[in-house]
Structure 1
């Protein structure tokens, strides 16, 4: 486990107060920026609970009132379940489903941030960001809070094509299964898009796939740390850059996924600057333009998105800053150190058993 996990839990228990984040958000900014320093993360071995999932996922899907595949390659919506009530086998099935489908949506969720922290621990050690603010006593919680009063300097030169990212990929053990609950939304806007890293790889030509499989890329957290320093905030760990494979293998599905994105990937190792920029700019445009392997969520209040940061990219749409408040919280379990297995397969080369449970019918429609 990460070296600071135990000490952080002690700190959290010592200062924890029962907070209603939604109420706090309507009163204004509530995150704190403590000067707490944490030990640097060290590599650890991750055993994914998706390995214990039932391929048919009966424990998870049988109690659902509807299971809807939103696109062929990514995105499933499940009705009739409450995440905080899932038992261990249902959580394992969920880990497997998210590994296969990339992102799964649950609406009308009652789970609160305290239950969310406990829920997240099933999927891996909870990541603590080195410089973002967080609710008092809850360093594992990443807050989403934007409204008409938000600082817009970043958005003056921001292109949403560059907004695609996977969370904290600069860590030695980046994020795995991750979930976000939004409890407050503007009247319109504020959607989020996800793209499949599996399908992004599959859409490339075989010669280019083989070329990429031999490459590694630098992922950097320096921009975030430098921004924190400019704002007068503490950087709680040593700023880090890490090298990861451009194509990684998912440990549960065994499928190959493209693993670069404009959010944190900075260069390709072992090639010239011009070559690196050409490769990465092509791949970034490939992800942004991949409308055939993207899904877009129109949030409702108390919707939870559960996604796999190892095999997806996501992009929040900041079109609502003149409309109203968008608020929620994210829990980010860490997973394995990224690796590439040359014997792994693409999703397209694997037989995938798909299932759709219609709301008005009994059982499932099975498709191969």
Structure 2
């Protein structure tokens, strides 16, 4: 994803040769020594990771359902504003770093219900560093280690995005008239992420708002007969293209885990709220299982166009200094808005990405084998 905020510390402009692969980190560190978050610049280790093993995910939102007031963590907020009726809440006056276990459970439930939450003035959280980021994320699930992205040295669990006037270490499409590509993060995994935390460490002075859309609202806009048909379908999500992008020498040139493809329902059910949501995206969904190529392409094209064009399902986050955004990756999609690529300033962000359960089909008993 791509987003932007203004910070008092400008990130360094880094030449392509200084960050990826062998020996580049030292030069980058020298150039970035005045940058407060230089220790969080992308590192591209050549470690190899084994395939991910299934694990039992227990969503903390389940615990919050038993609380007398599941929204108690918001009681002391200065401001709580709904960005749209169906997606997004903007909050000021809550220090996420100080939330106890109950508060984090309540946060998980509220993010599931609203899809997206934006928290302002979170410098305390951001400045606590990668050990804290890991402990934070582990409350919500097993941390995902990305197979191709950069990460802070020694912390592969922290996914980094980085772009400046010279180079990009992001998964970006150059040969398109738009930078908007709606996606749910790493949906090709058997157990894709749930509650996701993202923040920026540095950014250009303008541009790069993040776009979000509600896959719950998108599904509700479709006719009941069509939704009933979609519930019978399953689709292949693939990480192969992303891996090949890196193998071609881009993004850092590293593939640490062999790419995978998995089958997920076209319509999934949230395990805590029970809400149903579309679960396809342009970036990683490849085809609908059991349909002929033209049939699959026609249905996916219709759904992608619906997701792209339905502004009434979408919310736009305008980044401010020390903003943290959390979203439920199971029921939303998001997109980069790389309108700042002509600027020399760096945009440097970190994502904490806990995995959740294998997507549950909205149609009970749907066979998810290929």
Report the CA distance shift for 1:178/1:154 in structure 2 as closer, same or farther (over 3 A): closer
Distance 2:208 2:147 in 1: 26
Distance in 2 (alpha carbons) for counterparts of 1:91 and 1:22: 35
- For residues 52-63 of structure 1, what are the structure 2 equivalents within 5 Å? 52-53=63-64, 54=67, 56-63=69-76
Runs of 4+ in 1 over 4 A off after TM superposition: 21-29, 151-155
**Alignment-derived partner of residue 355 in structure 1:** none
| Match among 58, 64, 67 for residue 77 of structure 2 | 64
- 1:32 equivalent in structure 2: 43
Q: 2:354 aligns with which of 326, 333, 338?
A: 333
RMSD: 2.4
Distance in 1, matches of 2:189 and 2:178, equals: 24
Moved more, 304-313 or 112-121: 112-121
> 213, 216, 229: which one pairs with 1:195?
213
C-alpha distance in structure 1 between counterparts of 2:68 and 2:167, whole Å: 44
The equivalent of 1:163 in structure 2 is: 181
Of 175, 178, 186, the residue aligned with 2:196 is 178
For the Cα contact (< 8 Å) 1:71–1:295, is it kept in 2? yes
Matches within 5 A, 1:13-162: 24=35, 30-53=41-64, 54=67, 56-110=69-123, 111-112=125-126, 113-114=129-130, 115-151=132-168, 154-160=172-178
Equivalent position of 1:320 in the other structure: 340
User: Which TM-score applies when normalising by structure 2?
Assistant: 0.83
* Change in CA separation of 1:258 and 1:159 when aligned onto 2, cut-off 3 Å: farther
Q: Distance in 2 between matches of 1:34 and 1:132?
A: 10
Is the CA contact 2:235–2:289 (under 8 Å) kept in the aligned structure 1? yes
Task: Work out whether 1:221 is the aligned partner of 2:242.
Answer: no
Aligned length: 325
**Cα distance between partner residues in 2 of 1:97 and 1:303:** 18
Query: For residues 272 and 342 of structure 1, what CA distance do their matches in structure 2 show?
Result: 22
- Give the whole-Å Cα distance in 1 for the aligned partners of 2:36 and 2:336: 19
Once residues 190 and 42 of structure 1 are traced to their aligned partners in structure 2, the CA distance between those partners, rounded to angstroms, is 35
- 1:199-218 per-residue CA deviation (whole Å, 9 max, x = no partner) reads 01101111110010000000
Structure 1 Cα separation of the partners of residues 172 and 258 of structure 2: 24
In structure 2, C-alpha distance between the alignment counterparts of 1:312 and 1:23, rounded to whole Å: 37
**Per-residue deviation at 1:24?**
4.9
CA shift in 2, pair 1:260/1:134, >3 Å: same
Q: CA deviation at 1:56?
A: 3.8
- Alpha-carbon separation, structure 1, partners of 2:137 and 2:310: 30
Q: Give the unaligned 5+ runs of structure 1.
A: 1-18, 345-368
- Partners of 1:162 and 1:262 within 8 A in 2: no
* Distance 1:25-1:103 versus aligned 2 partners, 3 A rule: same
Decide which of 249, 263, 281 is 2:283's aligned counterpart: 263
Are the aligned partners of 2:267 and 2:362 in contact in 1 as well (CA < 8 Å)? no
Q: Does 1:209 align with 2:227?
A: yes
Asked if the contact 1:146/1:327 (under 8 Å) is kept, the reply is yes
Confirm or deny: 8 A CA contact 2:50 2:257 kept in the other structure.
Answer: yes
TM-score (norm 1): 0.83
User: Unaligned 5+ residue runs, structure 2?
Assistant: 1-28, 366-370
What's the CA shift string for 1:78-121, capped at 9, x where partnerless? 11111111111110010000000000000110213322221111
Tell me, yes or no, if the aligned pair for 1:59 and 1:89 is still in contact at 8 Å: no
